[in-house]
Structure 1
Amino acid sequence: MTENAQARPDRGPNSHPELPTQYAPAEVEGKLYERWVERGYFEAHAKSDKEPYAIVIPPPNVTGSLHLGHAFEHTIIDALTRRKRMQGYETLWQPGMDHAGIATQNVVERELAKEGLSRHDLGREAFVERVWRWKAESGGQISGQMRRLGDGVAWSRERFTMDEGLSRAVQTMFKRLYDDELIYRAERIINWCPRCLTAISDIEVEYQEDDGELVSIRYGSLTEGEPSIVVATTRAETMLGDTAVAVHPDDERYRDLVGTEIELPLTGRRIPVVADAHVDPEFGTGAVKVTPAHDPNDFEIGQRHGLPHITVMDERAVITTHGPFQGLDRLEARAAVVGALRAEGRIVAEKRPYRHSVGHCSRCKTTIEPRLSLQWWVRVGPLAKAAGDAVRDGRVTIHPREMESRYFSWVDNLHDWCISRQLWWGHRIPVWYGPGGEVVCVGPDEEPPAGEGWHQDADVLDTWFSSGLWPFTTLGWPERTESLETFYPNSVLVTGYDILFFWVARMMMLGLHAMDGTPPFRTIALHGMVRDQFGKKMSKSFGNAVNPLDWMDAYGSDAVRFTLARGANPGVDVPIGEDWVQASRNFANKIWNATRFALMNGATVEGPLPAPEELSTADRWILSRLGEVVAEVDAYYDDYQFAKLSDALYHFAWDEVFDWYVELTKTAFAQGGPAAGAARRVLGEVLDVTLRLLHPVVPFVTEALWTALTGQESVVIADWPADSGFRDPAAEAEIAALRQLVTEVRRFRADQGLQPGQRVPARLDLAGAAGAVAGGLSAHEDAIRALLRLTPPGDGFAPTASLPVGGAVVELDLSGAIDVAAERKRLAKDLAAAEKDKAQTAAKLANEAFLAKAPDQVVAKIRARREAADADIARITAQLAALGGVGGGS
């Protein structure tokens, strides 16, 4: 049996505040949340002697607003931290936002454009000031939306990746990596956005199928018998920068050409034919053009063969070389190059349209351009190895475990990381260049070099660099603060599997390096993506994106949270539809109505529970089930099985507590006496524990109800329920027998067309009920009659239906309720139809020739029809028997 640690006021069983007849989320949620924040329930204290439990928020972009993906992730994190807080941990859910370099700069530049200005008109310093002003006025919309959702974050600790402390930490980390020779500057191929004019990370590239063209071009001589080779490309304009043609070393077709040179059309240059194992001899002609300055794979081939890198486009993707094409945009140049090649007779084949995958900038949707560029890089080899080792040796657990292979496939094959961005908003790279070619990296406590000719690198750092430091910089690193000592490493990271590579791996690498081999978190709990009810990705372009605030307005935040939690299987995508949110709203209303009924009937949490021998079978059954559910929910929480724990709570609360136990208490309340007093105390206990179990997922309705039920301060700081250990298999079996009986009779009543409230005379023989103790269900006769609307037999009772259920027998007199003769006639007609369908399907399934020719799905459908016919025959026969005979006459 459970007991709260909080002191209970001395209140009588009928002194509870009266609840409104209906639950109105809009009138409850906002007030409750502000009360929680004012009372400091979500704050974390580094000096506490409690065991720490810490989770950082995956920092949303300062430009963002709450979408269903945020709501899903935040619901999971909030449920975890609320439960741990109730379990007595010093709980920190660390909030904050990311400065979102490209996204934020784009937003402010669009604002400037409305004024006819560009950032260059303002200059760097004034532009950055303008961004800070925008951030203060318009950024952070998501914080208010997090409050709507009920996020229990420590608001006093809110951080921003560009605030003073985090900026100092970023500079410290850059300097440390630079001094450890893990940061360097070099020319490499990067993703380049010609519109944003910056390098972008892989995660900021969105691939989609576009219509393009595939042209096959003859390089070399056009004279029959002289050396030539055909290559195919979707980017004909880049041929201007080709420095080789590559074939596979084992491709016999081109063996004689390897090591020779052929003419590169339109350019007047001759380029070598090289052999490289990267080439797929089965694809196309088995020969590929090599443009090292404009393709990442070609760059690698160029490195292996010492090929020159010829850049033919500027930062805006405009052609910079080769007379007739100079000054053309890349798409204009593509058409012009193909036209010139066609005029020379070099186009062997053209396929138009050609559907292929093309990368686009996620911010502005411009087609990205692979481009050779001088950038800053992190040498990830040793860092990635450490990140892999931390999972392999068990310091970090990935959940679900099957996601480990994805993690290892990434960190074991990680390329060096481009960390520089050609933006003005962000952490500026702390490197100064001198007039004599000097390069100096400056730490936060060092003065940059001064004097004529010295200047700072113009680039800023990739946003993923600062967010990769998030788990420890938000706690005060590089200072060894009390918060860092207490809450690092974080207990759990909750995030989507889609950024396992981009964010999680970076946090692992940087955290292990900065914190002397201690990983940033002990567990990585990965969840899937929220999709629509058909499993399709949510997107504005698809027209299926949902603003969760709209659903919160319509159904309440608890309904949205419960729907998301109920779909949250680890690492699996979550389909969600509005009808599911409506169902969750109905659940919240059910909780409200059941608790209101309990309070009106004197349910109480005062005093100890009566001894088992003083309890009814129903009381012992529900307490036994309560203990089992507490243990079950705990096990699911520890395994991050939110869908299962939510489903377990839903069915226990609705199916067992509300639909059965609450109904059974009505009989006890009507009878009065000690049984009623015991039922009031047990009902109070069950609701107390059930509301606490539900609270982490549906915090608002449970807070309103629990405080009304218990008179205590807040369920947020209540004790998490412990398994009482009480089990009563005999009571569970007996109530199972009762439920079976009531369910079967209710089904029969519905089949006969009786109204739910329609009363019917009946005689009950309950002594032989299977699963019940000696005497069967006789002790529950009053409850059974109340649940089934059955009146005593009375004089003139003449049963027209007899229902045997699990050893018990229920005889009903339906003569005054239905036309028995007409019902027999209807059922006999249905029986004949079912028997005819069974005969037809059985004949087909016995026909070997039919089975040999019919598709599997057709045969399966016929088998299903036969099984359905069998079930209908059994059901109708039982109904006819219950009516007093199989015959259909009047």
Structure 2
Amino acid sequence: MDTKYNPSEFENEIYKKWEDGGYFHADVIKDKKPFTIVMPPPNVTGQLHLGHALNNTIQDIIIRYKRMAGFEALWIPGTDHASISTEAKVVNKIRSQGHTKKELGREKFLEEAWAWTDEYGGTIKKQLRTIGVSCDWDADSFTMDENLTRAVKHVFKKMYDDGLIYQGDRIINWDPEAETAISDAEVYHVEKEGNLWYIKYFFEDSDEYITIATTRPETMFGDLAVAVNPEDPRFKDKIGKNLVLPIIGRKIPLIEDSYVDMEYGTGCVKITPSHDPNDFEVGARHNLGQCIVIDSKAHVVEGYGKYSGLDRYEARKLLVEQLEDEGYLEKIETLTHAVGYSERTNVVIEPLISKQWFVKMDRLAQLAIDAYRSEELELIPDSLGKTYMNWLNNIRDWTISRQLWWGHRLPVYYTDDGEIIVSEEDPDEEGKLNGVHVTQEEDTLDTWFSSALWPFATLGWPIENEKLDYFFPTDILVTGYDIIFFWVIRMVFASIYTTGKVPFNHVLFTGLIRDPQGRKMSKSLGNGVDPIDVVNQYGADALRFTLITGNSPGNDMRYDENRIIASRNFANKLWNATRFVLMNIDEDDDLVFDDNTELALEDKWILKRLNNVIEEVSRN
């Protein structure tokens, strides 16, 4: 052994020997007990970050232990097609070449997306090898592989036939940057300081008015009523009378609805059915209709004079100025409120009525609730059970359609007469299904719809096979607590619904890795750490040992380079201890220990300590 510990000289070589030797491969061996883990699939075009390194190190420890303990241990790796983020990168690439997505057309754009995936898709897998993960690369999967695509179509049709999937006009979260719908789980909220504008709405042919308060004055273009609580005595003699919408001049009625909290604000609420989920419900109860005033790019639509074509915030500024100039603005208050952002593009979402495809969640949510209550599913730490149950008890129908081209296109077809056909089979060369000419739905599915099938689709489901029978359900999932809604819950109900089985017995949640000041790592702060840089400087063992010491399930941890250095020094001690032993034995020495070996006291002491460690590790 070299006198100096230099991991870069041997770590890659060791990993190559492991992989070439097939030591990570798992097969169906009936006289052995199986143990299965599925890797949370990182984005196909992503880069390894410290969260991946932590997550995969924990999985690696578990799978290696089970492998050595005599289990037939399968660890399934893979990547996710990440529809929104990958499409955004491809759009930027073709834009830099002087083209637009629309100019290319769907087929050419998808060729570009596959080329991008082929070019960058292997990066993170190479990086995972660099940190030493022992997954079965023969089982490597991609969410758009043929077998996973088959599973997606099968589940979509099953849900549609069971009445769980429907198409409808509903208020959804709209991402104006990606120009697509996103689900509730893809929205994060930030407490921000903003304004509350108090605006006078005058009654028709009268100097009397009521005052409404709003944080989004630009949406008043779409107001179709003002609502008050039916128990509120202040407005009893005004119900049914018309108000005149400031600036626009539209006549809108004053209506009663128990949705309104008479104690909050002025007790009067402007009703904008096309741009607010609660207003949508009020509008439906009172047959108010719809009035879309913000478009897919978050600009004011045509028909509103100088405001048309303006960005929502430009329109807001100009509108507030006009309201003040014309005497409609009563006052402005500052407030702190939660603003919804798209998890995918980090822009403020726009609630917007849109025709989308949805999954009914009542029945599916109950499946996930029952699995947790029956203790078939254990969450570690158990404190996250409250988060799990709270989300399921307050769940809304899941918006699954996306206005994107990269991803699984909905297996929905329209006949020339407008009839809807859902089919797992593709149309023939003439564009016909069952002899009828059809046109396929343009939208693609939410990425999480396909990744919800990950634990069983990666094993060949829905085609029955012995690998699926042997390795499924899986045993443990290791993932970050931040995707409990996106992925964990969806895997639970999707698996029970399709296979009748809970997909894993345990979920071990990791926390986030923050910088030394406790801040979340981000590009904007410039405080991110590249795990590969750490490996190149200190070695994979130093990185892995740092990540799994001083760490507890579900809790965030702080990255500290001094801890990395201490871990490197510890590895160096092991290296030197090994060198010391090898220097002090002869190759001809008999180093075989058996029941007849005479052991010195210090040998017995060391073996006793070793056995204690083995017992404690096994128990834990």
Tell me if both proteins adopt one fold, taking TM over 0.5 as the criterion.
yes
Matched-pair contact (CA < 8 Å) for 2:186–2:486 = no
The alignment status of 1:551 with 2:534, answered yes or no, reads: yes
Q: Deviations over 1:400-456 (max 9, x none)?
A: 222211111112221110100001111111111122221111123776537887311
Cα distance in 2, alignment partners of residues 276 and 631 from structure 1: 66
The match for 1:185 is 167
Cα distance in 1, alignment partners of residues 468 and 539 from structure 2: 37
Cα distance in 1, alignment partners of residues 445 and 71 from structure 2: 37
The alignment status of 1:573 with 2:559, answered yes or no, reads: no
Q: Deviations over 1:679-733 (max 9, x none)?
A: xxxxxxxxxxxxxxxxxxxxxxxxxxxxxxxxxxxxxxxxxxxxxxxxxxxxxxx
Cα distance in 1, alignment partners of residues 571 and 285 from structure 2: 65
TM-score, L = length of structure 1: 0.66
From 311, 314, 323, give the equivalent of 1:329.
311
Q: Which moved more, 1:227-236 or 1:519-528?
A: 227-236
1:65 Cα offset (Å): 0.4
From 611, 617, 620, give the equivalent of 1:633.
617
Aligned amino acid, residue 525 of structure 2: F
The match for 1:596 is 579
The alignment status of 1:368 with 2:349, answered yes or no, reads: yes
1:273 Cα offset (Å): 3.5
The alignment status of 1:152 with 2:121, answered yes or no, reads: no
CA gap of 1:314–1:623, structure 2 versus 1, over 3 A, is: same
Q: Which runs of 5+ in 1 are unaligned?
A: 1-18, 637-890
Matched-pair contact (CA < 8 Å) for 1:48–1:90 = no
Matched-pair contact (CA < 8 Å) for 2:199–2:329 = yes
Q: Deviations over 1:10-53 (max 9, x none)?
A: xxxxxxxxx22222110111001111111111111024531111
Cα distance in 1, alignment partners of residues 237 and 566 from structure 2: 72
- The count of residues paired between Structure 1 and Structure 2 equals 613
Q: Which runs of 5+ in 2 are unaligned?
A: none
From 574, 577, 593, give the equivalent of 1:607.
593
Cα distance in 2, alignment partners of residues 533 and 250 from structure 1: 55
Matched-pair contact (CA < 8 Å) for 1:193–1:367 = yes
CA gap of 1:341–1:223, structure 2 versus 1, over 3 A, is: farther
SS for the counterpart of 2:10 is helix
Cα distance in 1, alignment partners of residues 489 and 440 from structure 2: 29
SS for the counterpart of 2:433 is coil
The match for 2:145 is 163
Q: Which moved more, 1:600-609 or 1:460-469?
A: 600-609
Cα distance in 1, alignment partners of residues 539 and 12 from structure 2: 11
The match for 1:641 is none
1:213 Cα offset (Å): 3.6
Cα distance in 1, alignment partners of residues 19 and 391 from structure 2: 40
Cα distance in 1, alignment partners of residues 170 and 596 from structure 2: 76
Cα distance in 1, alignment partners of residues 235 and 471 from structure 2: 62
Matched-pair contact (CA < 8 Å) for 1:59–1:96 = yes
1:206 Cα offset (Å): 4.0
Cα distance in 1, alignment partners of residues 604 and 534 from structure 2: 40
From 68, 82, 105, give the equivalent of 1:100.
82
From 494, 498, 502, give the equivalent of 2:478.
494
CA gap of 1:223–1:259, structure 2 versus 1, over 3 A, is: closer
Aligned amino acid, residue 34 of structure 1: K
| 1:534-549 correspondence to structure 2 within 5 Å | 534-549=517-532
Aligned amino acid, residue 143 of structure 1: K
CA gap of 1:305–1:624, structure 2 versus 1, over 3 A, is: farther
Cα distance in 2, alignment partners of residues 259 and 494 from structure 1: 58
Q: Deviations over 1:355-390 (max 9, x none)?
A: 543333344333221110000001111111111111
SS for the counterpart of 1:533 is coil
The match for 1:435 is 416
Q: Deviations over 1:250-285 (max 9, x none)?
A: 555445545544332223233334444544445433
SS for the counterpart of 1:123 is helix
From 277, 283, 292, give the equivalent of 1:302.
283
From 339, 345, 362, give the equivalent of 2:321.
339
Aligned amino acid, residue 82 of structure 1: R
CA gap of 1:570–1:609, structure 2 versus 1, over 3 A, is: farther
Cα distance in 2, alignment partners of residues 305 and 621 from structure 1: 83
The match for 1:128 is 110
SS for the counterpart of 1:143 is helix
User: C-alpha root-mean-square deviation of aligned residues, in Å?
Assistant: 2.4
SS for the counterpart of 1:477 is coil
CA gap of 1:191–1:537, structure 2 versus 1, over 3 A, is: same
Aligned amino acid, residue 374 of structure 1: K
Cα distance in 1, alignment partners of residues 342 and 497 from structure 2: 31
Q: Deviations over 1:798-828 (max 9, x none)?
A: xxxxxxxxxxxxxxxxxxxxxxxxxxxxxxx
Q: Which moved more, 1:311-320 or 1:70-79?
A: 311-320
The alignment status of 1:214 with 2:196, answered yes or no, reads: yes
SS for the counterpart of 1:105 is helix
Cα distance in 1, alignment partners of residues 49 and 286 from structure 2: 48
Aligned amino acid, residue 461 of structure 1: L
Q: Which moved more, 1:235-244 or 1:327-336?
A: 327-336
Matched-pair contact (CA < 8 Å) for 2:203–2:242 = no
The match for 1:856 is none
Cα distance in 2, alignment partners of residues 383 and 416 from structure 1: 10
CA gap of 1:20–1:161, structure 2 versus 1, over 3 A, is: same
SS for the counterpart of 2:247 is coil
Cα distance in 2, alignment partners of residues 47 and 273 from structure 1: 72
Q: Deviations over 1:208-237 (max 9, x none)?
A: 35564431111224999x542222222111
1:81 Cα offset (Å): 0.5
Aligned amino acid, residue 62 of structure 1: V
CA gap of 1:52–1:249, structure 2 versus 1, over 3 A, is: farther
Matched-pair contact (CA < 8 Å) for 1:227–1:262 = no
The match for 2:217 is 236
Cα distance in 2, alignment partners of residues 453 and 220 from structure 1: 55
The alignment status of 1:79 with 2:65, answered yes or no, reads: no
CA gap of 1:356–1:350, structure 2 versus 1, over 3 A, is: same
Greater strand proportion: 2
SS for the counterpart of 2:118 is helix
Cα distance in 1, alignment partners of residues 157 and 436 from structure 2: 24
Aligned amino acid, residue 625 of structure 1: R
SS for the counterpart of 1:246 is strand
Matched-pair contact (CA < 8 Å) for 1:99–1:162 = yes
Aligned amino acid, residue 373 of structure 1: S
Aligned amino acid, residue 184 of structure 2: D
The alignment status of 1:143 with 2:119, answered yes or no, reads: no
Matched-pair contact (CA < 8 Å) for 1:172–1:444 = no
Cα distance in 2, alignment partners of residues 433 and 494 from structure 1: 41
Q: Deviations over 1:501-542 (max 9, x none)?
A: 110111111111110x21111112222111122322111222
Matched-pair contact (CA < 8 Å) for 1:319–1:329 = yes
Cα distance in 1, alignment partners of residues 178 and 590 from structure 2: 64
The match for 1:680 is none
1:459 Cα offset (Å): 0.4
CA gap of 1:611–1:179, structure 2 versus 1, over 3 A, is: same
Cα distance in 2, alignment partners of residues 71 and 270 from structure 1: 60
Greater helix proportion: 1
Cα distance in 1, alignment partners of residues 369 and 248 from structure 2: 48
| 1:305-316 correspondence to structure 2 within 5 Å | 305-316=286-297
Matched-pair contact (CA < 8 Å) for 2:82–2:447 = yes
From 402, 405, 412, give the equivalent of 2:383.
402
Cα distance in 1, alignment partners of residues 506 and 237 from structure 2: 57
Aligned amino acid, residue 541 of structure 1: S
SS for the counterpart of 2:571 is helix
Matched-pair contact (CA < 8 Å) for 2:401–2:444 = yes
CA gap of 1:483–1:274, structure 2 versus 1, over 3 A, is: farther
Aligned amino acid, residue 113 of structure 2: V
Cα distance in 2, alignment partners of residues 185 and 288 from structure 1: 29
